[in-house]
Structure 1
Amino acid sequence: MLSQLMVLFGFFALVLVSIFWINKAVRMFDKLIGDGQPAWVFFEFTALTLPAVIGSMLPIAAFAAAVYVVHRLSADSELAVVQATGYSPWRLARAVVVFGLIVALMMSILAHLLIPNSLSQLRMREDEVSRNVTAQLLTAGEFLHPAPGVTFYTREITPEGELRDVFLSDRRNPGSAVTYTSSRAYLVQDPAGTRLVMVAGLAQNMQQSGQKLFTTHFEDFSHDISSLVSRDAINLNKLAFAGTPELLRDPQAVAARTGAAPGAVMAELHGRFTAALMCLVAALVGFATLLVGAFSRFGVWRQVLVAFGLLVGLKLIESAVLAPVLVTAALWPLLYLPSLGGLALAVGILWLAQRPGVWRRIANAIWPWWRRARGAGA
């Protein structure tokens, strides 16, 4: 069972991660390639987003693997044979517990190490790309806005790197708007930064005071475009970038450094632990629910729907307990309520599965009442 659980977990994780990753990669591709970035930057960015996508899909993949394994064992009558030989639900659940712990360990590595580091690295690379003025301007036939108040356009870029029919409007100074046009231009890198060298052009300076226009014709003109990009220091003081040891050691200092509320710090810290627990809970709930009920040649689709509903209910509880923790940091134990409740639910369902008589009496008690209610409604 453990080997089948791991194989199917890998399959479902691959499918789910691929769907969500491709969806995000398509939007990122349009943005990066549209800004003139090379293909390797796109692959680097998509790789840095992968740990967060995997982390969000692991509990669902664990649940799907547990449900599918039990469904296949039941459909092939293997589950009925194994139970007839004396295997109790508790003994069958050992493989699922081991499987859930393995997935929880994967999730812990992602939540505590890979996701914070990948997000911080992605933020640094985004800042570096945004400062790359050359790449932002190398797009022909489009009006580009590399900075607020700045518009750049070039009709054509030759294979030699020559820019044809260049238009540059600088309106960052409200009192003096400057517009440059030239038939040819070149981007030149020097130690001081990036310069736009324009040939055979015109500079028009519009002075708002007095409404005067000054024009200057030039044969060649060099304009420093490094200032088009803000040189503000990159801000890595984000709550999602903080390491788990730092959050455990001094959450107040992290809250002061990042500007986040104390409740948000506690939610981030304990959310990394509950995410791993939820992987174990999802696998156990899916497995235990499908063990309830007698063998049916119609399959276990009703148990599958019940298991899915229970998982959705746990996620709703998880969302509900988050709001009070964000307001009051001292309520952080509430974050463990969905996981502990899910474990208790799985234990209770396994207890019912070991005692089919109790479950049958419950069903027999509910069934006449449901029929009477249905007849009264008709």
Structure 2
Amino acid sequence: MTAPATTTLRGRVVTRDEVIEDGVLALAGARIEWVGPASAWLGDPAPQSDTTILPGLVDLHCHGGAGASFPDSPADDLMTAVRHHRSRGTTTMLASLVSAPPERLIAQTSMLADLYESGDIAGIHIEGPFLSVARCGAQDPASLRSGDPGLLRDIVGAGRGAVRSMTLAPEVDGFAAIAEMLRENDILPSIGHTDADALTTRRGIRALGSGPITATHLFNGMPTWHHRSPGPVSECLAAAARGGMVLELIGDGVHLADETVRAVFDLVGGTRIALVSDAMAAAGMSDGRYRLGPLDVTVHHSVARLSRDTDPETAPIAGGTATVLDLVRRAVQDAGVPLVEAVRAASSTPATTIGLGSDIGCLEQDMRADVLVVDAAFEPIQVIRSGTAIREDS
């Protein structure tokens, strides 16, 4: 058998632990063959470049993009969203659904399972419907319900192994039964859209037992952290600091202030943070009217808010319009997060959280050849997935 040809890239290489200012990344077929300083590379010389070479990015929470919506679009349109994010460097993603009537959740889960089986997505994230009405945000309150093991069983069955993550509130009735089912089916539980106090949150985290846990977009969809009423934020931060939780952050300057993003990185580090887009159909599109599940959304100045409120400045935020690469850029350039930490939170940490850390998420020998090459402004120059260069329309 003929050995695959070697492709070499040279530039500023960001590994799991350091930045190699003048590095070489060698790819052989679908795998990384070698990574290290250019001075140690023994193969054919590669021209010097002022580019930055990152691992392919991993998004654990994404509802769509380029006009397509995972909760709403027909099967033929779902890849449109995948291609948009892939072209911006997200080589691995979970497709997120929102709370909806049971038949809708089951149908969309079944359609997305096809993309999982084809390898185009890494799985499905179910955001609801076992959430707090008081903190529903852009979730349809009419679709929320107590924990229903029968419904979860139907959703998991429709997913044919694709359901990888589920957001639920620890105060909902039936939480314990749902938590047990998630663990039995190796589904990542995520605490979010909750109005729970600190004690209820702590008990919920304990009830989830051993294994990975995430917090769905920390700070958003939960009470503000008050010094006399700390709520879920303090418990999630503490759990992450102990190594027992990964915190999703939508660091786009809309959902969170840059100073908040920097503070969380300082407190728990990139190994406990997953930068997520929470992107909806408007990502990569112009301002206008869109849908997110059963609800209408208006995007103004690239900020998505529910259309039901008369004041567009105070209506609940309804997902994001950025990509994970946008969040890395903002974390580094605006929040002052070290590059290695920001990249770790956008690649190796989320990959490890969903059990894929041995294959993707960092630039190391024998890992899958998922690579993102960017310029000084963090704009994508080249995206490679499994050793193949991709375009937005591919």
TM-score (norm 2): 0.18
TM-score (norm 1): 0.18
Pick the structure with more strand per residue: 2
- Larger-Rg structure: 1
